[in-house]
Structure 1
Amino acid sequence: MEEQKQIIEKIIRLRLAQILVNDRYKNGDFKIPIHLALGHESLAVAVDASMMDNDHLLLTHRNIHYNLARIDTLKDEIDEYYLKVEGVASGHLGSMNLSNPDRNIVYSSSILGNNLPVSTGFALGNTLNNNSGVTFVVTGDGAIEEGAFYESLIFMKSNNLSTIIINENNNYSLGTKIDERRCKIDLSKIASSIDVEHIQLSGNDPFKYIETITA
């Protein structure tokens, strides 16, 4: 029960932190682009709770919720957005490329789909080095339109790499809805065609997310 309480409290903390960042962003306090993830807090907290010490996480430009879930204080991330040396990455990475190797966030990319082949290489390195850790990679509904998504998926399957791809579908790529830019993509059929497990979840139930990820 106490663990569940902590998870719920962290979700609320992430939401409040993003509201604070958004207020400062609207005031012009930050001189860098910052992509919020309001409504995605439960998944980020679930991934954080599911990761073991030897697991690693690779993110997209929309990484604020995952980074917040894996730091101890909001100040570290705020300082990074101000590009201060006290920030998570000493003010060198800002928002869109923010990583935190000390907390196993090893890479974030502002290039659409770029973190997928990087995660593939990272997972391959784990296999070659006999590291049993899982490589988590987060992508979005826009990035699955890139060739790198399919190529990475095939390589991961062909080499039996220990990876989990999390596709956050918020129905938008920039300001364009899915049905305004492309035909429907059925990920379950793509996954089944190469014998990859595909599970679709919706809603904001962190405990269901954790149960699925750790199954």
Structure 2
Amino acid sequence: MLENEKLIGLYKTMQTIRKVERKIEEEYKYDEMKTPIHLSIGQEAIAAGVCLHLRKDDYIFGTHRSHAQYIAKGGDLKKMIAEMYLRKTGCSLGRGGSMHLIDPEVGILGSTAIVGGNIPLGTGTALASKLQNNDKVTVIFFGDGAVDEGTFHESLNFALLKKLPVIYICENNHWAINSHQSQRHSGESIYRWADGYGIPSYQIDGNDVLKVSEYAENAVSRCRNGEGPTFIECITYRWKGHIGTVNDVGIGFRPQSEYDYWISKDPIKWYADYLKATGVLNDKMDESIDEEIDQLIDDAFTFAKNSPKPLPEELMDFVFAD
């Protein structure tokens, strides 16, 4: 059972992710963020629950939808928002945008917009940890669409063969762009694909941050003890559309009834109610947490907007080695 400090920490992380993305959503319409964005509103419990059990020197790899993982792992928020605005102070120096977030100081080795492209990369760092005989853990986050890629299967087979310290987190939100899982897979249990390779594999409620935390903690322990990889399929739902700020409901894509059902399963509201029912959180504490997070976000956006843009003569910097 987690102590109260960690329970509150999970709540702060989830609220920070939600509030940051709501602020991005609010500001995006002004067209100052010259980058595509992919929001993970509704999926906050997964990144929070997993990253709670990682050390600063553990590694994570994300996808095109990685704001949540960056925040949960402790990435510099000011640098992240500056990257949204493509400023020189951004975490990728204004050259990567929303889909290419990185902060090596806290183990965020990058995210990639190539579907499934991060899976072999993370498997590679896990191999490096194994060869170096350290106990660093690698976690790879990806969506249900990535499991259709060959690199997914090749990586899982190799990870089990070498007993690598890697955790595969499938954030199954049912939709790959506008293609529902039922149109792509004959079954609804992605975790069984990993189980077929012999990897300990589980399907859990990805909106229950305590459940995510429990399974992640066990997976991290297995890695540190040299027991090899774990696969966790987290069932969740993104509230917004695949890209941008629209929700693509009622226009031939996602049905309203499905959307309404998942809105009712808001992972943050459920967790807040749980914390208040158990006496860990009260309204005064909740208000204080909101104020603290809002100030962090205001500071990050002010920093980003006041940061310098890359200059035309710097276009070729970092493209070729000297």
Using a 3 Å threshold, how does the CA distance of structure 1 residues 186 and 204 change in structure 2: closer, same or farther? closer
**Structure 1 partner of 2:169:** 166
RMSD of equivalent CA atoms? 1.7
The 1-side partners of 2:38 and 2:189 are apart by 26
Counterpart position of 1:139: 142
Letter in structure 1 aligned against 2:137: V
Instruction: In structure 1, list runs of 5 or more residues that go unmatched.
Output: none
Number of residues of Structure 1 aligned to a counterpart in Structure 2? 215
* 1-structure distance, mates of 2:72, 2:195: 32
Find the counterpart in structure 1 of residue 153 from structure 2.
150
The structure with higher relative contact order (CA 8 Å, sep 6+) is 2
In 2, the alpha carbon distance for the partners of 1:95 and 1:57 equals 16
Q: Is the 8 A contact 2:88 2:94 kept in 1?
A: yes
Instruction: Provide the residue aligned with 2:200 in structure 1.
Output: 197
Q: Deviations over 1:11-61 (max 9, x none)?
A: 112111100001111332211101100111111111221102331101111
Structure 1 position 167, deviation (Å): 0.1
Partner of 1:151, secondary structure, is helix
Go from structure 1 to structure 2 and tell me whether the alpha carbon gap of 1:106 and 1:189 turns closer, same or farther (over 3 Å shift).
Answer: same
Which residue of 174, 177, 182 corresponds with 2:180?
A: 177
Deviations 1:45-88 (A, max 9, x none): 11221102331101111101111223466432211111111222
Instruction: Please give the alpha-carbon distance, in whole angstroms, between the structure 1 residues aligned to 2:11 and 2:192.
Output: 34
Work out whether residues 172 and 178 of structure 1, in 8 Å CA contact, stay in contact via their aligned partners in 2: yes
Q: 1:42 aligns with which of 41, 45, 56?
A: 45
Q: Distance in 2 between matches of 1:155 and 1:84?
A: 39
Quote the residue 2:68 is aligned against: 65
Among all aligned residue pairs of Structure 1 and Structure 2, give the percentage whose two residues are the same amino acid: 33
TM-fit CA distance, 1:3: 2.4
2:105 aligned with 1:102: yes
Rounded to whole Å, the distance in 2 between the matches of 1:136 and 1:71 is: 14
Residue type at the aligned position of 1:161? L
Please report the TM-score for the alignment, with normalisation by the length of structure 1: 0.93
- Tell me how far apart the structure 1 counterparts of residues 162 and 206 of structure 2 sit (CA, whole Å): 32
1:3 is aligned to 6
SS in 2 for 1:200: strand
Q: In the aligned structure 2, how far is the partner of 1:53 from the partner of 1:75?
A: 18
- Asked if 1:211 is matched to 2:214, the reply is yes
Q: Which residue of the partner structure matches residue 88 of structure 1?
A: 91
Aligned to 1:22: 25
| Residue 147 (structure 2) pairs with residue 128 (structure 1) | no
CA distance in 1, matches of 2:211, 2:188: 24
Contact in 1 for aligned 2:60/2:108 (Cα 8 Å) = yes
Say if 2:16 is the partner of 1:13: yes
Question: Take 1:29 and 1:150, find their aligned partners in 2: how far apart are those partners?
Answer: 39
Q: Whole-Å Cα distance in 2 between the matches of residues 182 and 201 of structure 1? A: 18
Cα displacement (A) at 1:141:
0.4
Q: Cα offset for 1:183?
A: 2.6
**Distance change in 2, residues 1:93/1:187 (3 Å):** same
Unaligned stretches of 5+ residues in structure 2: 219-322
Aligned residue identity for 2:111: S
AA at the equivalent of 2:195: S
